[in-house]
Structure 1
Amino acid sequence: MRLSQIAVKKPVTISMIFTGILIFGLLAFSALKLDILPEAEYPSLTVVTVLPGASSEDVEQQVTKLLEKQLAGVPKIKSLKSVSKENVSFIMLEFNFGTVIGDATNDVRDRIGPVKKILPSYAYDPLILKVDSSMVPVMMYGVSAKESAPGLAKIIDDRIEGRLKQVDGIGGLITLAAPKREIEIIVDPIKLRSSGISVAMIAKLLETQNISVPGGSIKTGGMDLSVRVPAEFESVDEIGEIQIPARDGSMVKLSSLAEIRDKLKDQDLSVRAEGKTMAVIMTQKQSGANTLEVAQNIKAAMEEIRKNVPADVVIEELNDASEVINLSISNLGTTAAYAMIFVILVILFFLREWRGSLIITLTIPFSLIIGLIFMYVCGYTINIFSLMALSITLGMVVDNTVVVFENITRHIEEGARPAEAAIFGAGEMTSAISASTLTTIAVFIPLAFVSGIVGLLFKQLAFVASITIAASLLVSLSLAPMLSSVLMKRKIKEKKHGFLYNLSEKLFVFVENLYKSLLGLNIRFRWFVVIAVAAVFFFTVKAGLSTGTDYIPEFDMGDIVATAELESSVDAEQSEAVARKIEEIVKRNVDEKDIRTYYTITGQTDNGLLSMFGFSEGKNIATIMAKIVNRNQRSYHIKTVAAKIRKEVEEIPEVVSFNMTAGSLLQSAMLGSSKPIEIKIKGNDLKKLAETGDKLQKVLEEQPYLQDVESTVDRGKPEVTVKFDRVKLARLGINAGMAALAVRESLYGADSGNYKQDNDEYDIVIRYDKE
């Protein structure tokens, strides 16, 4: 018994089945999560290792090369790249698609284990990061204060981060540029030398004088009491009272050898938003969490937080990833709704009667609902690719029902009863529409098996489109025949039609006669038709070959990201001065009323956090980010503004290279941080590589169709080299390693434990005055 026959004979059962599909579909739709892109776990890992106070050359020699050699043997690795920057090493491992990242992470961790023992003692443990969509910050906030500025880091830690960690869906919090308190001991090198005291001696002594030791327990008077020996500093002044033995046997107070400063820690990173210096809080969602819900929860939490912080603390929203999702999904959803309405109107226009139009129209929602159920079962999200799949199939899902209904109508017009016409009409078309549906699905399915990033992004589109089209076949062979048997009436006599029907009938007859005439001409002048078709084909192919190609179309979401690089010897303060100039250029070229927010990031983090998020960082690098109103609220394109800004920034003499992305951060996220065109130069001599790169860069910069040309060679910055006389060191009873460590401790600083106050800990650092 065919499906159409079962549907016609058991209309109640079919009605119940499709009612269940409708209810389950609505529940599935309400449970589906919204996101901008499909959740994807890219087959890559990044190993980040921090080496505080080290130059890029030292990082490469002491960390990167050791790890590279060990990681090169990780199974299923496709490529391995490394970047050595000041203070931090990045090693990017790309694996073959299909690799289980969890297993790859374990392999990398096992390989790193033995190398930890030979890394410098002051190097941080290597950190393994997975690259997935949850790394992108959901919300970014700027926090600034006036009177409360010295304690801002504590306010952020206690009152802001503490509350945000309780928000459902929060996966991680990252705080940048928060001014942290530290106890800095600036020693006088002349006084140290005269008394025979070293920085290492002071650091060791402070550690032994600033301890809290459990002393066991004692029993007395029938009680068991625990014993604790608190010997921690109770005040900053107490640190200066510590007695240090000098070379001559006398005791010297630390305060007579050094200046004790209770201050905010010097930072190489500065963040300014709309002219104010502030700290930045970036929030990440948990993998699989609904971005929109997480963003809403964060905003609600921030409203509570604003009421519980000091009045002078200002919390400003810098970026909201959910806004792009809302706008993109809303636009695509609106487009799909208009498409659906247009399809229904077209059906109604050609059928010119409500029963048939209703039967065919119902194919659309039920096919889409089955597609939504499939998305829910597979754990997909509503994103631009899944919505694109539903939009593409809107016009396709009615094809099968139109064919079936047309054949049912033919049988009714020939005198058959509606039930019989529904059974035979649908049955006769089963093979034809099944073959047609399979050929359509065959177009989409290969997209799901494409390797690389394309496969990850288009997998959902392929499967959702295929399932929705397959669902239309099921609907056309079950629901359509059942409704036809119930709604359609047997033709007894010629029905009288109204004015609109008769008018449209004249139009259809005219078009039909015109087509017959053209068909006759085509048959009469066969060779002319062949030549004309060949010419059209030729020019179509030519136009296709000459049309530009791109990975995704350009978006104008009002995002501007500009990165300026200065000479390598420039410090963060000079970079910030240039950033302010670029801020003025941005404000000069964009209408003030159109600027929603802008902020600048200059300098670098201690642990390479900005690089992990795709930002360039360094003491000589300034990044300016601006968000302007949506395209429908302004008359100009973002690219026009970007061209003006680029022209003015390139005229700033301090700027060595300049890069700008204008349009959408979504596009940057999909394309990655790499350039569209990359030329790789390989060799073993870094100096020759740099020279060749400079020559090639100059040639490329002269090409009118290229912009933002840059070289990735890090030449380092001017440095002071300290070389020891090993003979003299031997006479003093020390070796080169001890002397080198003394230099590091004197200039970079020696950690000497923590100063505790009110359950918080602050670093105690000993160093020479940098001035």
Structure 2
Amino acid sequence: MKIQGGGLAAWSIKHPIGVSMIAMTVIVLGLAVLSRLAIDLLPQIIYPDIRIRILDEGVPATVMEDQVTRFVEEQLAITEDALNVQSSTDLGIVEIDITFDYGKDIDVALRDASTRLDRAKTQLPDSIQPPEIFKRDPSQIPVIEFVVSSDLMSLVDLRTWTDDILSKWFINLPGVAAAEIGGGVEREIQIIPDQQRLAAMGLSYRNIVETIQSANDDIAIGRLQMPGSEITGRIGGRLNSVEAIRQLPIGRTDNNIIKLHEVAKVVDSSEDERLRIRANGISGIKLAIQKQPNANTNNVVEVVNRQLDWLEEQNVIPPGINVTAVTDQSVYIKQSLKNAATAAISGAILAMLVVYLFLGNLRRTLIIGSAIPIAIMFTFVLMGLGGLTLNIMTLGGLALGVGMLVDNTIVMLENIYRHQCKHEKPLEAGTHAAAEVNGPIIASTSTNLAAILPFLFIGGLTGLLFSELIFTISAAIFASMVIALTLVPAYAAKVTQISNNPIRKMMDGLIGFLQLGYGKVIRFFLKIKLLIIALFIGGFALSLPIFTSGNQILLPNIDDGRIEVRMVSDSGISVDEMDSYVQRIEQIMDAKPETETIFTLVGGSVFGRSQREEPSRAEMTIELVPADQRDISSQEWIKDIRKQIDELQIAGLRVFLFQRGIRGLRTHSGDEDISLRLQGEDFAVMKTVADEIADKMRQIPLLTNVEHSAEEERFEISIKLNRDRAQELGLDMQDLAEAAQTALQGRVISDFLEGNRSYDIRLRLPQEEMNNPQALRSIILFPSSDGSSPLYLGDVAEIELLDTPSRIRRENQMRIVELSAALADGATLGEALIQLDQMRQEIELPTGYTIYDGGQREALEQQQYQNLILLGLALFLVLVVMAIQYESLLNPIIILLSVPFAAIGVAMGIYWIDLPLSMPIWLGTIMLIGIVVNNAILLVNYIELERRHNNNLTEAVIEAVRLRLRPILMTTLSTVMGMLPLAIGFGEGSEMLQPLAIAVVWGLSFSMMVSLLLVPLVYHMFHSIKDRNKFDNQTALT
């Protein structure tokens, strides 16, 4: 008998050795690509944001706003394609963020913004540090951070050693971009004049400044031409010792030279310790290692740790110095990837167990078992070609794909086995079976791809975060189709033994019993099909509120065991007093058994080599032990700690605790879940209104950590010059500014070279003399002359203390007050926004003042809109694929009608497990569109085949669904079991994809009932109408 059909499967059956060699090639290539794939926690995410940071030590926020923020904003606002410009101005620091659309080339935007910044620099004060401009790239977050501490070294020496020696051993390591130092204190030479003695000798601060600057310089004097040679020359005047500074002559009186040490103390000291760093209660220096953008995080950390071990072995790190890791991204990455890989392997094993139970034959089961790793290797090859990395998204995609991998292979294998049971010859059985299922396999694969491919073309964070997941799943689905059409028939045709073992007999008996009962059920349901269809429609209607409720979030909460704490006290507090508060809180946290490390910053914050000094602020980062080593979640830990902190009753101290989730993953431009922006003309009015709104927000139980940007005020010394008096004396504002700076924090007037390092020379008054604002009145501006008294600052200026904003927020060049809050434990974003909207309706704003949303609301609304677009597009593309396959619309519509009812299963899962709606759930629901139709396609295809042999529609439907019961049960259960480990969600990193897997598992489980019950009824109903109309038309013609 001549065998026709079978296509690629028929060729594979005839060429098993060729197929095997191709499979081996795929394995080798897959392993080669796998060894070269970069490893990271998340796909590479480049946010469309640029940040500019400008520092000017000690300058109040109001002055920074007038002298820096306004000028820079004006230029940056006209950056091409800029959507939004926001700024935050604090004591001595301005941070400006420019936001672009996600489609913008961020490198082009950075160049354009840099050009605008260069133009603004010409209008900025000379005292500012060079502005920093950078992309807000998660790769810039340190991959590992250390605190260097010692009982044998002072903080000055420890800072110098860490900067000069330790950090240099890391900066040239493979993959390392920078080794940044923060905290500690640096050496400086302080000149502390005796005001009265200086004035009595007719000298002023300016004499000291001019003497130091003129004496501490190298001046080139040109070249000396000689026969056959040329020599350059200079006057070497650099000061090379502290004693040389002390002996500098600064004036003369009665023929006596006045040396600097006669009118001032010259002290080899250090800068004030205004920022304190600790690791587990031990003071030290922060060393942060940043990786290069495309470097492998795990590899970089491993190289750094190896280098650290080597330095200790070689005594480069001397005894008595401890280098303690306080954050290490690789730990969470390794554990997350391990858990994702475990889920994939566990899923594959469970899927194979299902196959073995149904087939009862180990050799046939091993065919499926071999198909899974080959498909995964094929997927790795495609990942390499696509430039993907190995992360929780791609591994999660493989874990999800494992369940879907076996679908096509089972269909082919089971059909070949069914023909073999008819005692057909091996080649005939394989070819006939392949010819029957080639079309459905290609159709089901095409619908799977059609349902999820639209995700690859969406923008925003969703596209950045999930595109690699979708690519991986798509690659796995494509690989499963190729293997189902090649490897499976090639091997299955060689296994001709008909299973007759106890397991097979038991399953045959069970399936036979189910088929008998199922046939009777379908026969009965066909008589009441309208009622059954109505019941399904009712179930769908009841499930809709689950998808439209306020129980929604953007992304699942990730418990990576990292807690951030921010503490703010009353303005004017000293670093010492703030530190005493922080130490009491440290003790509480250290006593918790779940606490692994505590990293503390008191008096400000550190970013790179820059730092912000704010005595009334402190930050802590707590790393908890891994999730499998503790009995409580991070949120439960926070709840317990917050209660204990409240019991301390520290007056004026506000403590905010956050469980941020994955470092570098931001769903919006701000830091908090909830953000409201208040805009108006008068800042004082805005503060009053913001206080009222904040009080109302604190009454919403779903919110915590409520605060607003104008809440904290700072005392500011205001010196007002008597201009007429100053004019008479020849004084100007610069004279007053220099005198005041000298009195308060001192002025850096030159530098001091020793070896390869440069140290500041600072002129300052004794701190004990400047202990209150009115002490500034006693600053001597000019010395006495002709027996007259010296001129004091109080003679030409008024000094007063003012309340000024501690932080000034601006958006699009206008002042705003930002109100922010975090979600309480168990609260969802959607529910919180509903209550927030109700609160806003009760607020009566003054005329001219507006309030609008920031935070995650816009991102949530955009996600909801994208979900609807994706849902509609997926349904349309699946319909198109099936219409092409069937060259008809009736059967595709019948199959597509089964899709919405899978949502009943998803809704049941969400309700039962009490999950909030999130992007992964929507992704899983949309993925179901392609998966659910697989069984329906096979079922309708077999009904069509049966109708060719049986003109009775009812009998054809019953016989087809009875025969397809086994493969439908087999494919559905194997897919569900393959995804089950991911749905259960063991260990770190599982929270991101667990909701997706839950949606698929519950939806697919329910869709099995839809395929087995609803699809036959809908098919029967539509085709009964079609046959009746066809008969009526024929009757009318005759």
What TM-score range do you get, normalising by the shorter chain?
over 0.9
1:560 equivalent in structure 2? 563
1:648 equivalent in structure 2? 644
1:747 to 732, 744, 749: 744
Does the alignment pair 1:764 with 2:761?
yes
2:634 to 635, 638, 657: 638
The 5-angstrom pairing of residues 11-22 of structure 1 reads: 11-22=16-27
How far did residue 643 of structure 1 move?
Answer: 1.0
2:673 equivalent in structure 1? 676
Secondary structure at 2:650 match in 1: coil
Counterparts of 2:524 and 2:606 in 1: how far apart (Å)?
78
Does the alignment pair 1:464 with 2:472?
yes
Q: 8 Å contact 1:271–1:278 — kept in the other structure?
A: yes
- Aligned identity (percent) is 26
The 5-angstrom pairing of residues 394-413 of structure 1 reads: 394-413=402-421
How far did residue 608 of structure 1 move?
Answer: 8.5
Q: 8 Å contact 1:52–1:606 — kept in the other structure?
A: no
Give the AA of the match of 1:476. Answer: A
Counterparts of 1:714 and 1:212 in 2: how far apart (Å)?
51
1:719 equivalent in structure 2? 716
The 3 A distance-change label for structure 1 pair 112 and 557 is closer
2:600 equivalent in structure 1? 600
Q: 8 Å contact 1:558–1:663 — kept in the other structure?
A: no
Secondary structure at 1:108 match in 2: helix
The 3 A distance-change label for structure 1 pair 198 and 215 is same
Give the AA of the match of 1:373. Answer: V
The 5-angstrom pairing of residues 299-698 of structure 1 reads: 299-306=305-312, 307-485=315-493, 487-489=494-496, 495=498, 497-526=500-529, 528-546=531-549, 548-588=551-591, 590-591=592-593, 594-605=594-605, 618-651=614-647, 652-662=649-659, 664-666=661-663, 674-698=671-695
Counterparts of 1:72 and 1:298 in 2: how far apart (Å)?
41
1:3 to 4, 8, 25: 8
Q: 8 Å contact 1:657–1:708 — kept in the other structure?
A: no
Counterparts of 1:624 and 1:227 in 2: how far apart (Å)?
54
1:116 to 112, 121, 146: 121
Q: Which runs of 5+ in 1 are unaligned?
A: none
Of 547-556 and 564-573, more deviation after overlay is shown by 547-556
Secondary structure at 1:184 match in 2: strand
Deviation per CA, 1:298-345, whole angstroms, max 9, x where unpaired?
111112333313322221111111001011111111111110100111
Q: 8 Å contact 1:34–1:292 — kept in the other structure?
A: yes
RMSD of equivalent CA atoms: 2.6
The 5-angstrom pairing of residues 125-204 of structure 1 reads: 125-149=130-154, 150-204=156-210
Counterparts of 1:80 and 1:568 in 2: how far apart (Å)?
28
The 3 A distance-change label for structure 1 pair 496 and 768 is closer
Q: 8 Å contact 2:360–2:499 — kept in the other structure?
A: no
Does the alignment pair 1:25 with 2:33?
no
Counterparts of 2:755 and 2:324 in 1: how far apart (Å)?
28
2:244 equivalent in structure 1? 238
The 3 A distance-change label for structure 1 pair 299 and 266 is same
Q: 8 Å contact 2:359–2:504 — kept in the other structure?
A: no
How far did residue 130 of structure 1 move?
Answer: 0.8
Give the AA of the match of 2:404. Answer: M
Give the AA of the match of 1:15. Answer: S
1:293 equivalent in structure 2? 299
Does the alignment pair 1:70 with 2:89?
no
Counterparts of 2:524 and 2:335 in 1: how far apart (Å)?
51
2:101 equivalent in structure 1? 96
The 3 A distance-change label for structure 1 pair 247 and 481 is farther
Give the AA of the match of 1:601. Answer: L
2:942 equivalent in structure 1? none
Number of equivalenced pairs: 759
Q: 8 Å contact 2:182–2:608 — kept in the other structure?
A: no
Secondary structure at 1:680 match in 2: strand
2:728 to 727, 731, 736: 731
2:51 to 31, 41, 46: 46
Secondary structure at 2:552 match in 1: coil
Deviation per CA, 1:100-135, whole angstroms, max 9, x where unpaired?
111111101111112111100111222111111211
Deviation per CA, 1:143-186, whole angstroms, max 9, x where unpaired?
11233224112210222101011221111122111321111111
Counterparts of 2:255 and 2:739 in 1: how far apart (Å)?
22
Q: TM-score, normalised by structure 1?
A: 0.93
1:266 to 259, 262, 272: 272
Q: 8 Å contact 2:163–2:181 — kept in the other structure?
A: no
Deviation per CA, 1:224-256, whole angstroms, max 9, x where unpaired?
655454322221011011111369996421112
Q: 8 Å contact 1:87–1:607 — kept in the other structure?
A: no
Q: 8 Å contact 2:181–2:609 — kept in the other structure?
A: no
Q: 8 Å contact 1:203–1:751 — kept in the other structure?
A: no
Secondary structure at 2:44 match in 1: coil
How far did residue 197 of structure 1 move?
Answer: 3.2
Secondary structure at 2:623 match in 1: strand
The 3 A distance-change label for structure 1 pair 205 and 606 is farther
The 3 A distance-change label for structure 1 pair 657 and 642 is same
Counterparts of 1:176 and 1:375 in 2: how far apart (Å)?
39
Q: 8 Å contact 2:565–2:658 — kept in the other structure?
A: yes
How far did residue 284 of structure 1 move?
Answer: 0.7
Counterparts of 1:600 and 1:723 in 2: how far apart (Å)?
39
The 3 A distance-change label for structure 1 pair 80 and 671 is closer
How far did residue 692 of structure 1 move?
Answer: 0.9
Counterparts of 1:16 and 1:349 in 2: how far apart (Å)?
30
How far did residue 552 of structure 1 move?
Answer: 2.6
Give the AA of the match of 1:562. Answer: V
Give the AA of the match of 1:24. Answer: L
The 3 A distance-change label for structure 1 pair 249 and 57 is farther
How far did residue 465 of structure 1 move?
Answer: 1.1
The 3 A distance-change label for structure 1 pair 268 and 655 is same
Counterparts of 1:606 and 1:432 in 2: how far apart (Å)?
60
Q: Which runs of 5+ in 2 are unaligned?
A: 769-1038
Secondary structure at 2:675 match in 1: coil
Counterparts of 1:270 and 1:542 in 2: how far apart (Å)?
52
Counterparts of 1:607 and 1:61 in 2: how far apart (Å)?
24
2:961 equivalent in structure 1? none
2:868 equivalent in structure 1? none
Does the alignment pair 1:207 with 2:210?
no
The 3 A distance-change label for structure 1 pair 369 and 249 is farther
The 3 A distance-change label for structure 1 pair 385 and 399 is same
